């Protein structure tokens, strides 16, 4: 989980239990031992004077190491001196300081050893001041530097020293709460209660630990006990009211909040809780009146905006949900639940693609099962079934008896028959909302989708079980049924299983084409299969493919043609070649000429004709299918072989198939980011994003500053031509810039909260305000191996492009690329920026949807990068690319340049600073593989002048070597991360 810093804020009350009382000086009548040559009477006053003088001399040593040595000598020489405990505390503090420096200088072993020595040498009993300021910080420091084992070991040693001190045990419990170890926090709180049964803070800590462990009923019980012991405690009363809300007892919550307000009517948190409790209790009119008053006094009440937005979404008022959630996102873009509430409102408004974008923004800040489920729900409504299933697979499985299993908050194993019941604990523990903004129908559909996908991906195929799962997913008479049928048919055909079932599906789908185009997002539903590869590549690079409007007639032809193609290819698998040829030819006659689907059908027709010993006809189909712009070595070999068979040589082949003008060598044994272009002047590694110009004044629309990255053209990605004079807009991948790491965490949930960010307009369409100062960073996404299915082309307005390849076991292959035709899809570029300026200005530039008939200049005018410098108004302002000022050079320094982590959760802290002119707050970070290694800023750890503290963590089971890049306006620094 990503919100450990928040938990420290939540449990700060525990430290109020520590009375910072000065410890009375220890009196002693002992005599200091000194070296003497003969017995000489020494007075008591002389010895005391000598001890004080020696202590002051030792404590005044300017060098830290010498000071520790002198203080240790003082303790040995004057074991009974009044200053002994103070000297021991100074030794502990000094050792901790040196240990911290050793860790900073990558001497991890030496630093840990000194920390252990510091704890071992601490005086017993430990004073509250030493405990809270030094001792308790040691395991925290180690944990967030990635030394979890050492942190836990030292925490155990600390526990031995404070075993009889209830308040200090509660302090140690806060360490476990901060590291999301609820079970250890519960154990220490219970231990403290055994020592002091009437200590309210112990029950408060136990209540918080229960909440962190999603035991909400138990948490309410502990808060009740704390309130019984201290009826004046606002913390206990408010915490109890929150748990009452969470478990659905809104009337009890209202009573508790009113009691708080009776003592202090200015308590904004209590007023917020009261309003939301009134909503939950069904007292909507009173709640809305109170909400209006509260927001008038404080329009930045984030928790009220988010809580009310989600309540409206849960009660199917999407318009109001979007309105309030939009304000919440603009106020604090890092709050994950604001994006979830926004997405739910957008789904209810039948805007699933915008909902998905909002949730992808949330993904930068959050990583917990509910967020995966919400993304899958948005994709389900848009028709992206494969992507929805893959999203669910990240954190959910379905057992053989139909039970959904996950780990709430990434930690606590839970299972249930229903998604709604399974995930309600994360929502209730986070925003205390008892009702889900979900429908049983959508939840069941997602469960059946996951079940089907899980069964079809197993090694041991059971056709009966798969058919049953497919029927469960397809069932229903809604307008999306045809899209589900084709999705299932494609998956079965890929596996070459249940062929009769595929034919049943295509036969029953024929009559549903017209109604299938009356769905929420017909273009995305129809193009989902072809967009899968493009979207997968885009999302791994923190980019987004925008689905354009496509004419209904074209979509209809694509659907009808796909039904025929699937039918024909299935018949071929059943050895019914004659019938297969009929359906494939019918598909070719229906599909848009030279489109991805048309070329796919041509190739399959050629395959069938070749088996029918019709080489000339087969060659003709192969040649029509082949796209010179997207060379395919394997297909080229097939064509050349058959051409020789028909004509005896390759003479004339170039004239028929086309000649490639740009030769590229692709090394399939290297990682995609390491591939090189041999003979192309614009190498893939340095290809910049092309400029986009306004059609109004031809001024350059400023792009978000991005690191150069290769242009990727997916395979086989053939162009889609037109039917008559109808053009489909081109689908374009767009860049998502990075948000600076937060310096203050707002999230107060026991579930993780690290996010991407939506464009949220003020009414009611969301619009994003990008920060053009930031560099792009990938969002953590996990995708399977990309399948070689035809997808619409992803291109920019350039003549030559470099084809990149997956890392597979093959020698370098030379391919040639030449743009010969105008692409069917014209570019539509939209940014998904991340707002790290909560108070940034917004513009009222309307967001237009491109149409198929728009020409390139008109579509370019639809690009809406939102800049803070733009003013709102009825007309579009002129956008001028500003010349950047030169920045003084500086150098980024890191405490470790080579990091070694254990896979699946290993982490390590890195201190990053700037030498020269520069602000450490400007340092941004990105990973070359965010699905495997993530880096998170920890602003509350370290607190060293001129340094920032980052935690590098392995978040997958993959092993290998990765790169983390720290960047500032004046330079950057890379470190290598080896995951073992």
pLDDT by residue (tens digit) across 499-540? 999 999 999 999 899 999 999 999 999 999 999 988 988 888
Q: How many beta carbons lie within 10 A of that of residue 440, not counting itself?
A: 11
Is 700's pLDDT higher than 80? no
Q: How confident is the model at residue 386 (pLDDT cuts 50, 70, 90)?
A: very high
CA 685/CA 496 separation, integer angstroms: 39
CA 506/CA 563 separation, integer angstroms: 6
Give the pLDDT of residue 946: 55
CB 459 within 8 A of CB 480: no
CA 446/CA 528 separation, integer angstroms: 17
3-state secondary structure at position 964:
strand
Q: How confident is the model at residue 971 (pLDDT cuts 50, 70, 90)?
A: confident
CB 185 within 8 A of CB 152: no
Give the pLDDT of residue 938: 64
Give the pLDDT of residue 868: 30
- The 3 state secondary structure assigned to 24-49 is CCCCCCCCCCCCCCCCCCCCHHHHHH
73 versus 10: which is more confidently predicted? 73
- For 873, counting Cβ atoms within 10 Å of its Cβ (0-12 exposed, 13-18 middle, 19+ buried), the class is exposed
Q: How confident is the model at residue 730 (pLDDT cuts 50, 70, 90)?
A: very low
CA dihedral 362, 365, 367, 372 (to 10 degrees): 0
Span of 231-235, 485-489, 932-936 with lowest mean pLDDT:
932-936
Q: Order across the sheet with 397-398: list the strands.
A: 397-398, 404-408, 412-416
Give the pLDDT of residue 966: 85
| Cα 955–Cα 973–Cα 895 angle in degrees, nearest 5 | 75
CA 58/CA 62 separation, integer angstroms: 9
DSSP string, 544-607: EEPPPP--HHHHHHHHHHHHHHHHHHHHHHTT-HHHHHHHHHHHHHHSPTTSHHHHHHHHHHHH
CA 414/CA 828 separation, integer angstroms: 43
Q: How confident is the model at residue 49 (pLDDT cuts 50, 70, 90)?
A: low
Is 806's pLDDT higher than 90? no
Give the pLDDT of residue 929: 87
250 versus 803: which is more confidently predicted? 250
The encoded tokens of residue 679 equal 């003979």
Give the pLDDT of residue 919: 74
Is 857's pLDDT higher than 50? no
What is the greatest pairwise CA distance in the chain? 121
CB 338 within 8 A of CB 756: no
CB 467 within 8 A of CB 489: no
Strand-pairing partners, residue 972, are 967
Is 604's pLDDT higher than 60? yes
Mean pLDDT for 578-588 is 96
Give the pLDDT of residue 905: 76
Model pLDDT for residues 664-681, shown as the tens digit of each residue = 332 323 333 333 332 332
Model pLDDT for residues 626-654, shown as the tens digit of each residue = 988 888 888 989 999 999 999 999 998 98
Give the pLDDT of residue 659: 62
CA 309/CA 303 separation, integer angstroms: 10
**DSSP code of residue 340:** H
Place of tokens 């041991």: 460
Give the pLDDT of residue 424: 96
Strand-pairing partners, residue 408, are 412
Mean pLDDT for 431-442 is 96
Give the pLDDT of residue 896: 77
Is 432's pLDDT higher than 90? yes
The stretches of 266-393 forming alpha helices (DSSP H) are 268-280, 284-297, 302-314, 318-331, 336-348, 352-362, 369-382, 385-393
Q: How confident is the model at residue 939 (pLDDT cuts 50, 70, 90)?
A: low
Contacts of 178 (CB under 8 A, 6+ apart): 4, 5, 7, 8, 11, 140
Mean pLDDT for 177-185 is 93
185 versus 898: which is more confidently predicted? 185
The encoded tokens of residue 921 equal 């707050």
Determine what percent of the chain is predicted with pLDDT higher than 90.
53
Span of 18-27, 298-307, 634-643, 932-941 with lowest mean pLDDT:
18-27
Give the pLDDT of residue 130: 94
CB 633 within 8 A of CB 609: no
CA atoms within 13 A on the CB side of 205: 36
3-state secondary structure at position 715:
coil
Is 833's pLDDT higher than 70? no
Give the pLDDT of residue 277: 97
Q: What is the mean pLDDT of the chain?
A: 75
Model pLDDT for residues 758-799, shown as the tens digit of each residue = 333 333 333 323 332 333 333 333 323 223 333 333 333 323
Is 29's pLDDT higher than 70? no
Is 291's pLDDT higher than 70? yes
Span of 24-33, 510-519, 874-883, 968-977 with lowest mean pLDDT:
874-883
CA 106/CA 910 separation, integer angstroms: 9
CA 280/CA 476 separation, integer angstroms: 32
Cα→Cα distances 216→206, 213, 256, 430, 776, Å: 11, 8, 17, 11, 39
The encoded tokens of residue 396 equal 């959910």
């Amino acid at each position: 989980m990503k919100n450990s810093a928040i938990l420290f804020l939540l449990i700060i009350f525990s430290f109020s239990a520590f009375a910072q009382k000065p410890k009375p000086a220890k009196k002693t009548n002992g005599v200091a031992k000194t070296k003497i040559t003969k017995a000489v009477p020494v007075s008591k006053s002389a010895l005391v004077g000598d001890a004080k003088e020696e202590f002051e001399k030792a404590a005044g040593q300017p060098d830290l190491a010498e000071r520790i040595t002198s203080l240790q000598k003082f303790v040995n020489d004057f074991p009974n001196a009044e200053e002994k405990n103070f000297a021991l505390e100074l030794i502990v503090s000094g050792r901790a300081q040196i240990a911290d420096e050793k860790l900073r200088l990558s001497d991890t072993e030496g630093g840990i050893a000194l920390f252990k020595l510091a704890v071992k040498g601490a005086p017993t009993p430990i004073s509250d001041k030493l405990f809270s300021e030094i001792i308790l910080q040691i395991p925290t420091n180690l944990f967030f530097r990635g030394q979890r084992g050492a942190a836990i070991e030292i925490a155990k040693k600390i526990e031995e020293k404070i075993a009889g001190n209830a308040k200090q045990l509660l302090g140690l419990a806060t360490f476990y709460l901060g590291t999301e170890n609820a079970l250890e926090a519960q154990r220490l709180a219970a231990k403290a209660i055994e020592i002091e049964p009437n200590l309210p803070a112990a029950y408060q800590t136990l209540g918080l630990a229960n909440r962190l462990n999603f035991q909400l009923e138990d948490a309410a019980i502990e808060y009740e006990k704390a309130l019984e012991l201290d009826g004046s405690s606002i913390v206990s009363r408010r915490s109890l009211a929150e748990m009452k809300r969470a478990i659905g007892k809104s009337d009890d919550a209202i009573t508790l909040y009113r009691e708080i307000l009776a003592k202090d009517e200015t308590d904004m948190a209590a007023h917020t809780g009261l309003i939301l409790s009134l909503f939950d209790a069904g007292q909507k009119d009173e709640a809305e009146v109170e909400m209006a008053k509260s927001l008038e006094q404080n329009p930045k009440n984030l928790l009220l905006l988010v809580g009310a937005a989600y309540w409206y979404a849960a009660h199917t008022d999407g318009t109001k949900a979007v309105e309030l959630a939009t304000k919440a996102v603009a106020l604090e873009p890092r709050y994950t639940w604001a994006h979830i509430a926004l997405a739910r409102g957008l789904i209810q408004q039948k805007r699933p693609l915008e909902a998905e974008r909002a949730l992808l923004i949330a993904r930068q800040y959050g990583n917990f099962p509910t967020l995966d489920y919400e993304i899958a729900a948005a994709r389900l409504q848009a028709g992206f079934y494969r992507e929805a299933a893959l999203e669910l697979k990240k954190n959910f499985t379905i057992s053989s008896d139909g039970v959904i299993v996950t780990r709430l908050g990434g930690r606590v194993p839970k299972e249930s028959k229903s998604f709604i019941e399974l995930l309600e604990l994360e929502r209730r523990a986070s925003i205390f909302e008892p009702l889900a903004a979900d429908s049983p129908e959508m939840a069941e559909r997602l469960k059946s989708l996951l079940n089907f996908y899980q069964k079809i991906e197993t090694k041991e195929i059971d056709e009966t079980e798969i058919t049953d799962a497919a029927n469960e997913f397809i069932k229903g008479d809604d307008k999306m049924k045809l899209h589900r049928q084709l999705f299932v048919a494609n998956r079965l055909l890929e596996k070459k299983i249940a062929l009769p079932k595929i034919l049943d599906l295509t036969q029953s789908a024929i009559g549903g084409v017209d109604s299938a185009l009356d769905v929420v997002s017909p273009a995305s539903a129809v193009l989902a299969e072809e967009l899968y590869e493009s979207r997968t590549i885009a999302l791994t690079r923190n980019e987004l493919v925008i689905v354009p409007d496509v004419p209904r007639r074209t979509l209809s032809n694509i659907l009808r043609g796909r039904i025929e193609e699937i039918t024909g290819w299935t018949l071929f698998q059943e050895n019914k070649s004659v019938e297969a040829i009929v359906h494939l030819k019918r598909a070719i006659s229906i599909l848009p000429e030279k489109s991805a689907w048309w070329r796919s059908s041509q190739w399959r027709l050629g395959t069938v004709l070749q088996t029918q010993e019709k080489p000339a006809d087969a060659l003709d189909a192969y040649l029509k299918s082949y796209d010179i712009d997207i060379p395919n070595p394997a297909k080229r070999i097939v064509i050349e072989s058959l051409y020789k068979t028909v004509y005896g040589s390759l003479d004339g082949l170039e004239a028929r198939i086309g000649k490639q003008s740009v030769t590229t060598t692709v090394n399939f044994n290297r990682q995609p980011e390491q591939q090189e272009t041999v003979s192309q002047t614009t190498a893939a590694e340095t290809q910049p994003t092309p400029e986009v110009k306004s059609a109004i004044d031809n001024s350059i629309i400023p792009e978000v500053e991005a690191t150069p990255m290769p242009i990727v053209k997916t395979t086989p990605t053939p162009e889609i031509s037109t039917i008559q004079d109808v053009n489909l807009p081109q689908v374009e991948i767009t860049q998502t810039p990075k948000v600076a790491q937060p310096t203050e965490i707002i999230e107060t949930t026991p579930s993780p909260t690290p996010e991407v960010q939506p464009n949220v307009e003020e009414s009611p369409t969301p619009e994003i305000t990008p920060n053009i100062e930031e560099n792009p960073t990938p969002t953590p996404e996990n995708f399977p191996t990309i399948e070689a299915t035809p997808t619409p082309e992803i291109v920019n307005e350039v003549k030559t492009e470099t084809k990149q390849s997956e890392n597979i076991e093959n020698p370098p292959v030379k391919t040639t690329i030449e743009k010969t035709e105008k692409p069917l899809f014209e570019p539509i570029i939209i940014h998904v920026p991340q707002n790290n300026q909560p108070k940034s200005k917004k513009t009222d530039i309307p967001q237009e949807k491109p149409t198929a008939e728009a020409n390139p200049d008109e579509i370019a005018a639809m690009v809406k990068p939102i800049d803070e410098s733009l003013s709102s108004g009825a007309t579009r302002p002129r956008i001028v690319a500003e010349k950047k000022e030169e920045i003084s050079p500086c150098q980024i320094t890191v405490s470790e340049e080579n990091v070694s982590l254990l896979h699946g959760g290993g982490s390590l802290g890195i201190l990053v600073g700037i030498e020269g002119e520069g602000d450490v707050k400007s340092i941004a970070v990105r990973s070359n593989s965010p699905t495997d290694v993530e880096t998170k800023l920890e602003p509350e750890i370290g607190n060293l002048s001129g340094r920032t503290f980052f935690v590098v963590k392995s978040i997958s089971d993959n092993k290998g070597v990765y790169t983390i890049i720290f960047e500032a306006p004046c330079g950057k620094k890379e470190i290598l991360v080896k995951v073992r």
